[in-house]
Chain A
Amino acid sequence: MIPLQPPRRLIDVEIDGEAVRVPEGSTILDACHSAGKDVPTLCYGDTLTPKNACRVCVVEVEGARTLAPACSRKAEQGMKVGTDTERARQSRKVVLELLGSSVDLSTTPRAAEWTEEYGADPARFGDDAATVEQPPKVDNDLYVRDYAKCILCYKCVDACGEQWQNSFAISVAGRGFDSTISTEFDAPLTDSACVYCGNCVEVCPTGALSFKTEFDMRAEGTWDESKQTETTTICSYCGVGCNLTLHVQDNKIVKVTSPHDNPVTKGNLCVKGRFGYGYV
C-alpha cells in the first residue's frame, strides 16, 4: 500500500540553445547537468537545501531582470537559460575575485581553474584588501577548523543543524564582513555541543574544515591525492549499515567520507564510522 508519488511531468527547457527535458521540480542546475553543462558551484550541496550564499552558479534566464542562482531556481516549462553569457561570466568573475582576495582558496577544488577560466584577478583590489586571514583552530585530534579558508556558505551549519545532525554545535556569529562560523561563545569544540560526527567536514567546499590526518599530511607535504584509492565499504561498528568511502594512501586510511546518494547514510556518519578506524 505504498502511496504513489504524484506523477512528475517532464518539462522542456532550453540550455544554451539546446533542448532538454527534465522532471518537474528539477532545478536549473539539474537541467544543466542533464545537458552536460559544467556550471561552477560552491555553496550548493547535493544533500542540503540551497542556501544561495555564494552566487558563483548564476545563469541568465531569458526575460528575467536579474541573474538566477542555478542551484535553487526551479526549471520551468519553456525556460531559456544561458549558462555562459557575458553577464553570467562577468558576475562569476567578480564573485571569484571577491572571494579570492579575502579567503584562502588554495584547497578549494577547481578554484584555480575557474579563476583562470573567468579571467578573475583577485589581486586587483590591492595589497590592503580586507581578508579573513587567521590561524587555524586545532583544538581536538579529529578535525581542524581553518577559517582563513571559510567562504561562509553555511553548509556546515545546516549539516550540523536540523537538516542532518541536529546537534546545533555551530552557527553564524557576527555581522557583515566580520561574520564567522562559531561555536557557542566561540568556545573550543571540546566545550561545545559537537559530537565529532564530521558531517560538517563532509560538506565543506573549501577545505576550511578538514580531518586532522589530512591537515597534518598537508603540513608535512605528504598528502597526495594522486596516490590515493577510494573504496566504498560498510562500517565495522553497529548494525545500521552505513556506507564508508575509505581514502587510502600507502595502505593507510587517511580520510573517511560517505556516498551522498546512499539510502542509509545520505552522506552522514557518526564519530565511530568517521574516525574509528585507528585499529586497522
Chain B
Amino acid sequence: MSYDRLTHPLVRENGVLRKASWEEALEVAAEGFRRNIERHGPDSFAMLSCARSTNEMNYIGQKFTRVVIGTNNVDSCNRTCHAPSVAGLSAVFGSGGGTSSYQEVEDTDVIVMWGSAARNAHPIFFQHVLKGIHNGARMFAVDPRRTGTAQWADLWLGLNVGTDIPLAHAVAREIIHAGLHNTAFIERATVGFEEFKESVEPWTLTAAEQVTGVPAEAIRELAHAYARADRAQLCWTLGITEHHNATDNVRALINLALLTGHVGRYGSGLSPLRGQNNVQGGGDMGAIPNRLPGFQDILDPKIRERFEGAWGRPIQPRYGRNLTQMLEGMAEGEVTTCYMIGENPVQSEADSLACIKRLSMLDHLVVQDIFLTKTAQMADVVLPASAAWCEADGTFTNSERRVQRVRKALEPPGEARDDIWIMCELARRMGHDWHYDGAEEVWNELRSLSPQHHGMTYQRLAELQGIQWPCPSEDSLEPPYLHGRLWESDPVKRGTPAPFAVLRHSPPVDLLDEEYPLRLTTGRRLDSYNTGVQSSGFPSPLRRGETIEMCPEDAEKYGVVAGEEVRISSRRGSVIAPVFIDPGLRPGLVFMTFHFPDEVDVNSLTIEATCPIAGTAEFKAAAVRVEKLVKAG
C-alpha cells in the first residue's frame, strides 16, 4: 500500500482523530506538554527527533527539549542502527564519525566490507568501492549471506550470524603471530595492547573456524591481506551494529585498525555506512541524550556553561534517556509524554507489539510527520510537516561527514508546515519567544556554538559542494580523513592514545533449539526502504513484496517450494509469507526484510535484546521455525 501525505493537523477527540486548525492543534499539543511537566517534572518528557530531517531541525529539536522542556531526553532512530558505531568510535578516538572519505576507498589497496550489503543498501557508495576494485584493490566480504557485495569480493567469508568477535579475534591473533602488527604505531598511538594480545590468544584459526564456520585458510588470508596492505579500508553496516553486543562488535573491528595502523592516514580508515540520510547529522546536532551540538560532551561543565550562556537556561548535568530507555520509561510510567518527529517506532522497533503497548500508556503523544503512520494513528495530536529533503532549506550530513545543502524545490501540500516553524510556535506557547528567519539563521547559531562546524557558511557549502567536518576555520579545509594526530611524532600533538578493547564473545540471545532451529536475519533490498512508508510510492519493477528467503537445501528439508506461503514463528510472534529460494544463503539461515510491515510484520518476530552501551536491538539474529500451512477443511 502507499500512504497519502498529511495535509492538515489532527486532534484526538472522544478517541478519534479529527481535523483541527493549526491554532487548536498547537494549543492542545503545548497544553499536554505543560500538564505533564507540571505533574511529573521535565524528565517525563521524551523527544524522538528525525534522522531524515535537516541538521537545522535537529538543532532546534534538541534545543526545544533542553531549553523549553528542560530535559536531555532526546534521541533518534540512530539508536536502532548506528549508535554502536558512534559509541565505539568515540570511546576510542573521541569522535563518533567515520574516519575516511568515499574517495579514499577508490585509492586504497584492501577493502573489507564487514556485515555490509552495500551493493544493494548503499549503491552509490559501492560505486566508489567498484572504482577501487577496478583500480586494483582486493575486496573481502564478511557476511552470513552471499550478498551482492560478496559477489564482487576476492574472498567471501560467510560467518555464522553473531560470531563477528571470534572472527575479528582470530584475524588479530593471526596478525600478531605472523608478526604483521604495526609495532611502532601500537607503541606510540595506542594503549592496552598486551591485555588485548592475551585476550585473543585462545582464538586460533581452528577454534575460530569451529565457531564462525569460516575456513581457517580464509581467515588467514584476510588477516595477511589486511595487515600487509599499505592502505586498507574497513567498512561496516548494520550486520555489525544490530546485535545485542553491537558496541563490542564495533570495538572488535577498531582493534584490527589499531593493530595494523590502518587509521588516521589517507586511504586507511574505518567507515560505518549510515542508513538514513541525516542520521550522522542528527547526532552531530546534539539530538542524542549525551551530547550537545557539535558532539560536545554534556558532562563537561565548561561546555555546558557556553550553551547555558547562549540559551539562557541551565542544562541538566547528566545524560538523558536513549530511545530504548524511553520505551522502558513508558512501561514504568516515568515517561508520560512524547514528542515524536518523523519516527515510526511502532513499525521500526524490534518486538513491535511491546512497543505499541508502551506508547499506548502515554498520557500525551504528539507526532509530527508527513504521513499518518501507524505511530501517528496512536497520537493525541498529529502535526503535518513538510518533507525535509525537498520542501525545506537546510543541511544534511552524510556518512563521510560531509555537510551538504538541502534546498526547497516544492511547496508542501495543504496546510503542512516546516518543522522549525512548528517547533517555534510550540516554544512560543510554552513561554519561549523564538524567532528564526529561515534555516540559515539556525545554522549560524549552531556554527557559533560548534567549533567543528564553525567554518561552514552556507555560501562555502554551496561553492565547495559540501564540506566535511571538522571545519573550524572559514578560510581553510582539514584533511578528508580523521585522527591524523595519531601519527604525529610529538606526543603532545598526538594527544590521547587510542585504547584497545578486551572483548568476550557473546552469541545471539535468541538461542536456536529443536523448536526454533533456523536463524532469521533481516535487511534491506535495493528498491525499498525501512518500513516502506516512503518507498511504496513508486512502481518499482524489482519489488516482489515480503518473502522468506531460504536456501534450496532448507526448502527441501522442510518440504516447501518457491512461492508457497508458509508460517514463520519466533518465540514472540508469527507471520505468514511466501518462500523465495536464494542460493546465496547457507543452510540454517533465512532472511526477511522489514519493508512491508502492513502486509507482514517481520518485527513481531525480532527480539528486543539490546546492546547495554548503545541500546541497539538485535534485529539481525532471531530464532524461528518455518512450517507448512495446513489447508482448511
- Chain A contact residues, CB within 8 Å of chain B: 1-3, 140-142, 162, 164-166, 189-190, 195-197, 229, 231-243, 246, 248, 251-253, 259, 261-266, 268-273, 275-280
Contact = CB atoms under 8 A, between A and B. Distances in A.
A2 B266 contact: yes
B538 A275 contact: yes
A279 to B, nearest CB: 4
A2 to B, nearest CB: 5
B52 A190 contact: no
B538 A276 contact: yes
B460 interface: no
Interface of B: 2-3, 5, 52, 102-103, 121-125, 127, 130, 134, 152, 265-266, 273-280, 370-371, 387-391, 396-400, 402, 404-411, 465-466, 479, 484, 487, 526-529, 533-542
B527 A196 contact: yes
B541 A236 contact: no
Nearest to A280: B387
Contact of A239 (B123, B274, B406, B539): B274
Contact of B127 (A164, A229, A276): A164
A270 B3 CA distance: 22
Contacts of A140: 541
A165 B536 CA distance: 24
Contacts of B400: 241, 264
A239 B399 contact: yes
A259 to B, nearest CB: 8
Contacts of A264: 102, 124, 398, 400, 402, 404, 466
A170 B353 CA distance: 46
A256 to B, nearest CB: 10
B539 A142 contact: yes
A229 B408 CA distance: 11
Contact of B542 (A164, A195, A235): A195
A240 B398 contact: yes
Contacts of A277: 390, 537-538
Nearest to A242: B124
Contact of B406 (A234, A240, A270): A234
A248 B410 contact: yes
Contacts of A271: 526-527, 540, 542
B409 A239 contact: no
B540 A270 contact: no
A278 B398 contact: no
A235 B277 contact: yes
A241 B2 contact: no
20 contacts: A196-B540, A233-B408, A237-B277, A238-B122, A239-B273, A240-B273, A241-B277, A242-B124, A246-B410, A252-B410, A263-B402, A264-B102, A264-B466, A270-B123, A270-B124, A270-B526, A271-B542, A275-B540, A278-B537, A280-B387
B103 A263 contact: yes
Contacts of A166: 127, 130, 152
Given A246-B390, A279-B2, A237 B529 contact: yes
Contact of A278 (B388, B538, B541): B538
B182 to A, nearest CB: 14
Across the A-B interface, the 7 shortest Cβ-Cβ residue pairs:
A241-B398, A239-B274, A278-B537, A231-B409, A279-B537, A270-B123, A141-B539
A195 B397 CA distance: 27
Contacts of B479: 2
Nearest to A232: B407
Most buried by B among A141, A235, A261, A271: A271
Contact of B404 (A2, A241, A268, A273): A241
